[in-house]
Amino acid sequence: MENKIVKVGLIGLGTVGGGTLEVLAKNSEVIAKRAVKIEVSRICNLDLAYTEQRIKELGLEGTTTATTNFRDLIDDPEIDIVIELIGGIHPALEMVSAALAAGKSVVTANKDLVASHGAELFELADNNGVDFFFEASVAGGIPILKALKDSLAANNIVEIMGIVNGTTNYILSQMTSNGADFEPCLKRAQELGYAEANPTNDIEGFDAARKMAILASIAYNSNITEDMVYVEGITNITKFDIAYADQLGYAVKLVGLAKPAPGDENSIAVCVYPLMIAKEHPLASVNDVFNAVFVEGDALGQSMFYGRGAGSLPTASAVAGDVITAAKKIINNTRGVSGIRFFENKKVLPITECINKYYIRLMVQDKPKVLAQIADAFATSDISMDSVIQKRVTDSGLAEIVLITHSVKEANLQEALERLQHLACVDCVASMIRVNGD
């Protein structure tokens, strides 16, 4: 067993692919001593000259060859594991499917692929007796999927709350510490390379929704795809709301939630939206680009997994960890035996059925009886107030009212907001942010 070498094919040599090659090469000795010798024997990447240059720089000329054709990896009988790090759905889906069908275990960081085609790929892996691992697809370097799948397998999961997008956490942290608007903070995130030129996936919450689909699928043994996740991003969050939240004892975070529906064992809530979190909650102090996943299990109680959710080496750490697990299973002849099983078929609750407290900011006329009309609009939808504050009067003579409701079904809240928007004394409903807690 000590002399066995497990050969690996790597598809993609971008940020994460480059980091993975580096980690596997630089830490090869300790990996071999802990587990098994792993050799990246072929790399498929469109830029052949760059691939050859990296092979040379890492001293891998004797063992590693470059190609631009992924079939060279699939058709190589010596390769037992394929690492897919090109991202996106196509052609990654075709490449991963071909590798699994050819009897190779697959490791990927591709959240888009797992959140949309996970179930069919798990089945393909099962049918071919191989493994399909994707730890790096959620929260980068944080080992949350293995923890959920294995270490917490004895628990019923009471709740998962995650800050799983570093870009939006950076933007909201900057808005909070500098009292700045959204746009300049987004621009700074782009300058620092956190946000892409087209930041839609991050700031609209889609990236977080894919990660929550994967987390919820594992935690609740059901095939939850990204299109089932309710999503709101952070583009409507203003510096005024962040300042009020701060005064009221809360931090605003883009949070992904997955939890069972109260009183309905067949349903779960899976959502991504900005959330006001009490400053005492562990997630409230997760700042900048850091990620954290807060998990409550019925046996474990509360715990939080914290770390870097993106970046070359942190993400490579998770990919390489999966490669080592897959390699150990190959030499121990145990591959394909611990797949993910969707033995339940949980329904996802519509957002209108979810229950929350709500922060509302209204711009109203500064006249008598206005508060009474607003109170009546909420009371008609059975909504009770936790706190009401009349804040500044703007240059245009409008008064700003900030209020927090008690817990209520979102359908009732939407009904009340609709009613408020039609009141003559209400100029606009400037903001609505959900508030964590009962």
Q: Which active-site residues does the annotation give? A: 211
Closer CB to ligand HSE, residue 170 or residue 244?
Answer: 170
Q: Which of 108, 110, 128, 167 binds ligand HSE (CB under 6 A)?
A: 167
Tell me, residue by residue from 353 to 392, as one string, x for binding to ligand HSE by CB under 6 A and - for no binding. Answer: ----------------------------------------
Say which residues have a Cβ less than 8 Å from residue 295's Cβ, sequence separation at least 6. Answer: 144, 147, 148, 152, 157, 159, 160, 302, 303, 304, 305
Q: Which of 12, 18, 309, 321 binds ligand HSE (CB under 6 A)?
A: 309
Q: How far is the CB of 202 from ligand HSE (least distance, A)?
A: 5
Q: What distance in Å separates the CA atoms of residue 19 and residue 316, rounded to the nearest whole number?
A: 5
Asked if 135 is part of the footprint of ligand HSE (rule: CB under 6 A), the reply reads no
Token output for 143:
């080992």
Asked if 325 is part of the footprint of ligand HSE (rule: CB under 6 A), the reply reads no
Q: How far is the CB of 165 from ligand HSE (least distance, A)?
A: 4
DSSP-based three-state secondary structure for 382: coil
- One-letter amino acid at 404 equals I
Asked if 202 is part of the footprint of ligand HSE (rule: CB under 6 A), the reply reads yes
Q: Which of 310, 360, 383, 399 binds ligand HSE (CB under 6 A)?
A: 310
Question: Are the CB atoms for 416 and 383 separated by under 8 Å?
Answer: yes
Question: Are the CB atoms for 208 and 274 separated by under 8 Å?
Answer: no
Tell me the HSE value of 259 on the side-chain side, using a 13 A CA sphere. Answer: 21
Q: How far is the CB of 311 from ligand HSE (least distance, A)?
A: 8
Closer CB to ligand HSE, residue 80 or residue 202?
Answer: 202
Whose tokens are 């063992």? That residue is: 63
Asked if 207 is part of the footprint of ligand HSE (rule: CB under 6 A), the reply reads yes
Strand locations in 197-242, DSSP E?
230-231
Asked if 105 is part of the footprint of ligand HSE (rule: CB under 6 A), the reply reads no
Closer CB to ligand HSE, residue 68 or residue 200?
Answer: 200
Q: How far is the CB of 309 from ligand HSE (least distance, A)?
A: 5
Q: How far is the CB of 48 from ligand HSE (least distance, A)?
A: 27
Total residue length of the chain: 438
Q: How far is the CB of 238 from ligand HSE (least distance, A)?
A: 21
- The window from 67-75, 159-167, 243-251, 382-390 that contacts ligand HSE (CB under 6 A) reads 159-167
Say which residues have a Cβ less than 8 Å from residue 280's Cβ, sequence separation at least 6. Answer: none
Closer CB to ligand HSE, residue 297 or residue 307?
Answer: 307
- Is the peptide bond preceding residue 91 cis, with omega within 30 degrees of 0? yes
CB atoms inside a 10 Å sphere around CB 144 = 28
Asked if 166 is part of the footprint of ligand HSE (rule: CB under 6 A), the reply reads yes
Closer CB to ligand HSE, residue 199 or residue 260?
Answer: 199
Binding-site size, ligand HSE (CB under 6 A):
7
- The window from 164-172, 222-230, 297-305, 410-418 that contacts ligand HSE (CB under 6 A) reads 164-172
Token output for 373:
């009309």
- DSSP per residue over 38-107, as a string? EEEEEEE-S-HHHHHHHHHHTT-TTT-EEES-THHHHT-TTEEEEEE-S-SSTTHHHHHHHHHHTT-EEE
Closer CB to ligand HSE, residue 199 or residue 297?
Answer: 199
Tell me, residue by residue from 220 to 259, as one string, x for binding to ligand HSE by CB under 6 A and - for no binding. Answer: ----------------------------------------
Closer CB to ligand HSE, residue 215 or residue 360?
Answer: 215
Say which residues have a Cβ less than 8 Å from residue 155's Cβ, sequence separation at least 6. Answer: 297, 298, 299, 300
CA–CA distance from 121 to each of 75, 94, 326, 350 (Å)?
20, 11, 16, 27
- Residues lying near ligand HSE in the complex (CB under 6 A) are found at 165-167, 202, 207, 309-310
